[in-house]
Amino acid sequence: MRVYSIIGATRNIGKTRIIEQLIKEFKERGIPVTVIKHTEKDLDMEGKDTYRFMKTGAEKTIALTPNGATIFTREKSLEKVLEKYVEKRGIILVEGLKRSKYPKIVIVEVIDEIDKLKFEGKLLAIVVKNNLKKYAIRGKPIYRIDEIGKIADLIENTALKETLKCMGGLNCGLCGYKSCKDYAKAIIHGDDWEGKCKLKYRVKLEIDGREIQIKPYVEYVLFNIIDGYVKTLKGYTPKFKEVKVKIEDAEANT
C-alpha cells in the first residue's frame, strides 16, 4: 500500500500545511489522496449521541451529515484502519505517527535536527525550512519547504515502484492492461484497485532439475489448481511465501 508519513522535528513546524499543498498538487495530477491524522485528543465529544452510542458498546458509529460522514471506531491500530477503512488505490498520507513502519518525510527547521529526531521506518526525504547548503544527507534528497512539486514527484515515483513490486512483472495482460506499469498507474490514479495481478505468485516447473518454460496463462491456471486444493488442507496459511509440490517416480527410487 502506498502510505507515506509526514513528521516534524517539532510541533507546529508545518506538517498540515505541506499535506494541504500535496493534496492540491496530487488533485491536479488526477491522483486521489487519503489523509490519516494522528492526534492525542478524542474527537468525539462527551454528551453527543455518537459518544453515547460508542460508550454503550457500539463497535463503530457513523455520523452522516449534509457535508459528509464521520466514522468513530474503537480501532487504534494504523494497520487495521488501513485494512478496514481505506481504499486500495491512490496515495495515503499520514500526519504524525513517528513509530509507524511506513516511509517518512521529515520536516526540520535546520538540517542538524535530523540527527536528534527518533523515528521508525525508512527515511524517504528531508524538508528544510531554512536555506539549503547540501543537496543530500545519508543519500536521501533534501527539499525546501516550498518545493511541493518535487516532493510530490518523489512520492508518486516511489508509489509507482512500490506498486510494481507487488506484480509479476511479465506484462502478460491478464489483468486487462497492456503492461504492469499501466495497471500500477491506474491504481495510483484511482482508476482501479489492487488485486487484479494474476501472476503475483509465480509458478516454476522443473523436471529432473531442468526448468520448463510455461506461458503466463498456464502459470496462472497451475497456481489456481494448486492453491485451490492446498487451501483446503489443515495447516494452510493464505500469506505464504512459498509452496513446494514434488512429484517423484516411486519405481525409480527402488
What average pLDDT does range 120-146 have in this prediction? 77
Tell me the per-residue pLDDT of 36-84, one tens digit each, with 9 for 90 and over: 988 877 766 777 888 888 888 888 888 888 998 888 888 888 899 888 8
Q: How far apart are the first and last CA of the chain?
A: 51
Q: Which three cell numbers stand for residue 169?
A: 512483472
Residue 136 pLDDT exceeds 60? no
The Cα 164–Cα 59 span in angstroms is 36
Do 164 and 181 contact (CB within 8 A), yes or no?
yes
- Among 31-40, 159-168, 234-243, whose mean pLDDT is lowest? 234-243
What average pLDDT does range 231-253 have in this prediction? 83
Q: In this structure, what is the dihedral angle of CA atoms 233, 238, 244, 250, given to the nearest 10 degrees?
A: 10
Percent over 70 (pLDDT), the chain: 95
Strand order in the sheet with 136-137: 33-37, 91-95, 3-8, 104-108, 123-128, 140-144, 136-137
Domains of the chain: 3-161 (3.40.50.300), 168-254 (no CATH)
| 53 SS3 class | helix
Helix, strand, coil percentages in the chain from 3-state DSSP, rounded to 5? 30, 20, 50
- The whole-chain average pLDDT of the chain stands at 87
Tell me the per-residue pLDDT of 85-125, one tens digit each, with 9 for 90 and over: 888 899 999 998 888 999 999 998 887 787 778 888 899 99
Tell me the per-residue pLDDT of 172-208, one tens digit each, with 9 for 90 and over: 888 899 999 999 999 999 999 988 888 878 888 888 8
